[in-house]
Structure 1
Amino acid sequence: MSYVNMIRMFVRVYELGSMSAAARDQRTSPAVASGRISELEKHLGVRLFNRTTRKLQPTENGRIFYEGALGILHAIEDAESAVADATQNPRGVLFVGAPLGVGRRFLGPFVPDFKAAYPLIDLRLRLSDRIIDVTAEGLDVVLHLGRLEDSALKMRVIAECPRILCAAPAYVARRGMPQDGAALIRERHDCLNLRYPGAKEFQWALQTPAGVQKFDISGPYESDDGDVLTDWALAGHGIVLKPLFEVGAYLRTGQLVPVAIATPPLPVTLSLLTPHRRLRDPKVRLFADFIVGRIRTDMAAQVQGLDLPEIEVRPKDAQPQRQPDPDPT
């Protein structure tokens, strides 16, 4: 059994805190993962993990060995990257993460083209609308939609994406056309919200003449999959807040129409994130340059010609209006 494979498995077990999760990550079985850890412990003559029925905790020796093991893997990766740079023949596996909608629209269609250009690089996509822990997931590149909170990652801005509030004509015919964010609350509109474990707030930040305000929207439908929300909106079940590139086609055909246009949502930043040390890897640099260029071109085409709501900014000496409380009746 390769000593490097044992070390690699140990590092993933340590980072994920689970033998089965590490086995899935390394594309093998829990039995193989357990066997590699046992062999490593036998080789070192120490116990690396305390095993219970509920959890796996590293021992003090395990914590000490982790830092050295991580350094070994980094050294191997750096050596492989240096060879790839010298030969201009990058190879290996790239683990790429993204939100579902972004991944389906911008990664899924372009990955085969990248693979054709660089046949020795394999890609593994991890798509989810939940918060992604880059370290725990073992990712090399992440497409991120929103604010960056992890300063340990290097950010490359791809685009500032306008967003829009929209609904199906059938919903508007049934419930009326809300003019602004306050009407969403006052008229108790069904708002389709993206919610997932770890989300910090469930409000919509909208631009008003008095500045950005947050509105405590509500509704009977919510999901942690953004495309499900779009499907519900198309079916007439409520109002959705979406990046324009995700719903532009439906706005063009009239399947969705803009609503609350007096208070449009803030744009959202689409960025490419990488751990700092990964930037030295030629295959990461190649993929980043390739995918950023493709996304910018495709996104521009998807939103071209679509009119966005604009707000009239209140003079600085004007008094902002208070967001109305929900109707108690």
Structure 2
Amino acid sequence: MSYLESLRVFVRVVELGSITAGGRDLRLSPAVASNRIKDLENRFGLRLLNRTTRKLMPTEIGRAFYDHARRVIETLDEAEALIGSFSGRPQGVIRLTAPLGLGRRLIAPLVPPFCAANPGVEIRLRLSDRNVNIVEDAIDLAFFLGEPADSALKWRKIADCPRVLVAAPAYLAREGTPEGPDDLAGHNCLLLRYPRSPEYFWTLQTPEGPRKMMVQGRFDTDDGDVLTGWALDGHGIANRPRYDVAEDLAAGRLVEVLADHRPLPAQFGCLTPHRRLQDPKVRLFADHAVRELRPLF
């Protein structure tokens, strides 16, 4: 493995806080990743990382070296992106992330045809309903539902994503159908929550404008598919993207409630880090996603 490849290992190990995680991110075994770190330390005769049984931290010189190594890697990546823009043959890895349900239904199907058309590109797709740090996790393209707040990232809107309140017929037969937003107070609302989650309320559309409803429920989860499953099983009312429950609505397994007071649609788009030169293959995948997904909304 080259010196530059060892630098990549060191940078990812520091960013992820673990030799195992850093190696896995680069598709290396922990033993190989560890050897790459040792090679760097032997090269300089200095310890770059302090290892304990519980965590790994860069030494003072390791932190300074990381800052320079990261800039070297970024410069190299930009140089490769420049070459790719002239050659017309995209090469290398694209790291994608998306929420679980959205990723499974909308993003994953985009990957095989894109790779078939661009055989020099590898896709690494990571799905999670938790917030991810796009910069620290070295994400190239993050698909996102909601209101982007980080000004350090570039936002490209794909579409407005309609949302609906849904429940199973059995739940409504047992608990009654809400006639207005205030009736939600008497229902078990199924909530998407995770650490630092902003979704402790639902914003519904009314003739007077958007209205924030402080809903409550006995079930919450950080997995949107679990939320839909609870609704299907008759446990309460869920606030879901329409694409996520369209088949269940068509089949009658779920029923829309408060159709005159639907939740505000969520913005659907993708986030990329600000860079002096955007990698052409990342822009190419974003164009592919916009072209394929915008008609679905």
Look up the equivalent residue of 1:69 and give its one-letter code.
A
Q: Does 1:272 align with 2:283?
A: no
Equivalent residue number for residue 249 of structure 1: 247
Return the TM-score normalized by structure 1: 0.85
Gaps of 5+ in 2: none
CA contact (8 A) 1:169 1:256 kept: yes
The whole-number CA distance in structure 2 between the counterparts of 1:179 and 1:19 is 55
Residue-pair matches, total? 297
The whole-number CA distance in structure 1 between the counterparts of 2:21 and 2:180 is 46
Equivalent residue number for residue 258 of structure 2: 260
Equivalent residue number for residue 232 of structure 2: 234
Runs of 4+ in 1 over 6 A off after TM superposition: none
Return the TM-score normalized by structure 2: 0.94
Look up the equivalent residue of 1:99 and give its one-letter code.
P
Look up the equivalent residue of 1:97 and give its one-letter code.
T
- CA deviations over 1:265-320 (Å, ceiling 9, x no partner): 111111111112285211111111011110112x23xxxxxxxxxxxxxxxxxxxx
Equivalent residue number for residue 167 of structure 2: 167
Q: 1:283 aligns with which of 281, 284, 296?
A: 281
Distance 1:279 1:190, change over 3 A: farther
Look up the equivalent residue of 2:271 and give its one-letter code.
L
SS of the residue 1:119 aligns to: coil
- CA deviations over 1:106-139 (Å, ceiling 9, x no partner): 1122211111111111111101111111123221
Q: Does 1:53 align with 2:30?
A: no
Q: Which segment is superposed worse, 199-208 or 150-159? A: 199-208
Look up the equivalent residue of 1:44 and give its one-letter code.
F
Task: Report the CA distance between 1:253 and its aligned residue.
Answer: 2.5
CA contact (8 A) 2:100 2:127 kept: yes
The whole-number CA distance in structure 1 between the counterparts of 2:24 and 2:215 is 38
CA contact (8 A) 2:78 2:277 kept: no
Task: Report the CA distance between 1:262 and its aligned residue.
Answer: 4.3
- CA deviations over 1:135-181 (Å, ceiling 9, x no partner): 23221111011111221111000111111111111111111001222
SS of the residue 2:268 aligns to: strand
Task: Report the CA distance between 1:95 and its aligned residue.
Answer: 0.8
- CA deviations over 1:179-223 (Å, ceiling 9, x no partner): 2221111x2x11111112231442222233444333232223222
SS of the residue 1:178 aligns to: coil
Q: 2:210 aligns with which of 208, 212, 221?
A: 212
Look up the equivalent residue of 1:125 and give its one-letter code.
L
CA contact (8 A) 1:140 1:278 kept: no
CA contact (8 A) 2:192 2:199 kept: no
Equivalent residue number for residue 317 of structure 1: none
CA contact (8 A) 1:278 1:284 kept: no
Equivalent residue number for residue 27 of structure 1: 27
SS of the residue 1:102 aligns to: helix
Q: Which segment is superposed worse, 28-37 or 6-15? A: 28-37
Look up the equivalent residue of 2:36 and give its one-letter code.
R
The whole-number CA distance in structure 2 between the counterparts of 1:158 and 1:278 is 23
The whole-number CA distance in structure 1 between the counterparts of 2:152 and 2:15 is 16
Equivalent residue number for residue 132 of structure 1: 132
The whole-number CA distance in structure 2 between the counterparts of 1:74 and 1:198 is 30
Based on CA coordinates, which of the two structures has the bigger radius of gyration?
1
